[in-house]
C-alpha cells in the first residue's frame, strides 16, 4: 500500500478554484495526489473526459510529478486497489454536502475495509462555488474568471 498517495476523485465538469484549493491542501499532507476524473457515460457533461483531463493537466502542471491526472469508471475502490492506495480526499462545502459525502464514505468503507475518506473543509470564499453553478453562469454569459483557473475560464468561453 502506498501511504504517500491519495486520490481526489470527482466529475470536475469543470475543475473550479474550490477543487484547486482542495488539491493544493491535499498536497500539504500527501507527496502525490491522483486527480481521478469520473468517466460515467450516463451522466451528461459539458466537457468530455478527455477534455477534462487535458484541462486539469494544464492547471496542475506547476506541481510536476506530484500530481497525476487520470480517469476511472466503475467502482472507486477498484481504482484505489489498482493504484495501491487507500486514501480518498473529498472537499466538504456545507451541510448540503454532508449527507451525500458521508453516505459515499460509508459505502466505500463497506466495499473495502482499508479505504479511508478524508474530508477537507472548503474555504469560506469557495463554499458557494460548484461546477454546475459555474456552467450555468458561464452559459448565460456571466463572468466566472474569479471562480475557476484561467485555462478553465477560456475553455468555458469557447463552449458558449
Ligand atoms: P462529484 O460529482 O463526485 O461530487 P465534483 O467534481 O462536484 O464531484 O466534486 C469533487 C469533490 O470536490 C467533492 O468532494 C466536492 O465536495 C468537492 N468540491 C466541489 N466544489 C468544491 C468547492 N467549491 N470547495 C471545496 N470542495 C469542493
Residue whose CA lies nearest to ligand 1 atom number 3: 10
Q: Which residues' Cβ are closer than 6 Å to ligand 1? A: 10-12, 16, 18-19, 22, 38, 90-91, 93, 97, 122, 126, 129-131
**Amino acid 141: pLDDT:** 96
Choice among 52, 53, 90, 93 that is catalytic:
93
Q: What is the pLDDT of residue 94?
A: 81
What are 39-88's pLDDT values in tens digits? 999 999 999 999 999 999 999 999 999 999 999 999 999 999 999 999 99
Q: Confirm whether 43 is a catalytic residue.
A: yes
Its pTM stands at 0.97
Q: Which residues on neighbouring strands pair with residue 8, listed in sequence order?
A: 35
What pLDDT is attached to residue 95? 79
Long-range contacts of 48-56 (CB under 8 A, 24+ apart): 51/155, 52/12, 52/13, 52/14, 52/15, 55/14, 55/15, 55/151, 55/152, 55/155, 56/12, 56/15
Q: How far is CA 72 from CA 28, 83, 103, 126, 158, in A?
A: 24, 11, 20, 26, 26
Question: What pLDDT does residue 120 have?
Answer: 97
Among candidate residues 82, 84, 68, 75, the one with its CA nearest the CA of residue 104: 75
What number is the average pLDDT over the span 24-36?
A: 98
Candidate of 7, 9, 10 to mutate for ligand 1, largest count of ligand atoms within 8 Å of Cβ: 10
- Calpha distance 59→53 (Å, rounded): 10
Nearest-angstrom CA–CA distance, 159 and 122: 28
| pLDDT single digits (tens) 94-125 | 878 999 999 999 999 999 999 999 999 999 99
What is the pLDDT at residue 25?
A: 98
Among 34, 52, 126, 131, the active-site one is: 131
pLDDT at 19 over 90: yes
The strand ranges marked E within 19-142 are 32-38, 67-72, 87-92, 116-121
User: Which residue's C-alpha comes closest to atom 22 of ligand 1?
Assistant: 18
d(CA 55, CA 44): 18
Residue 19 annotated among the catalytic residues of the structure: yes
pLDDT at 116: 98
Amino acid at each position: 500500500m502506498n501511504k504517500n498517495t491519495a486520490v481526489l476523485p470527482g466529475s470536475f465538469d469543470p475543475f473550479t478554484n474550490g477543487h484547486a484549493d482542495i488539491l493544493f491542501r491535499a498536497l500539504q499532507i500527501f507527496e502525490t495526489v491522483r486527480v481521478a476524473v469520473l468517466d460515467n457515460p450516463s451522466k451528461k457533461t459539458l466537457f468530455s473526459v478527455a477534455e477534462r483531463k487535458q484541462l486539469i493537466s494544464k492547471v496542475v502542471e506547476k506541481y510536476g510529478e506530484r500530481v497525476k491526472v487520470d480517469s476511472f469508471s466503475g467502482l472507486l475502490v477498484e481504482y484505489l486497489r489498482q493504484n495501491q492506495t487507500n486514501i480518498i480526499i473529498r472537499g466538504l462545502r456545507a451541510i448540503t454536502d454532508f449527507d451525500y459525502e458521508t453516505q459515499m464514505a460509508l459505502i466505500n468503507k463497506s466495499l473495502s475495509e482499508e479505504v479511508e475518506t478524508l474530508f477537507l473543509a472548503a474555504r469560506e470564499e469557495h463554499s458557494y462555488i460548484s461546477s454546475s453553478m459555474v456552467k450555468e453562469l458561464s452559459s448565460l454569459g456571466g463572468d466566472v474568471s474569479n471562480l475557476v483557473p484561467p485555462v478553465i475560464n477560456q475553455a468555458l468561453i469557447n463552449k458558449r
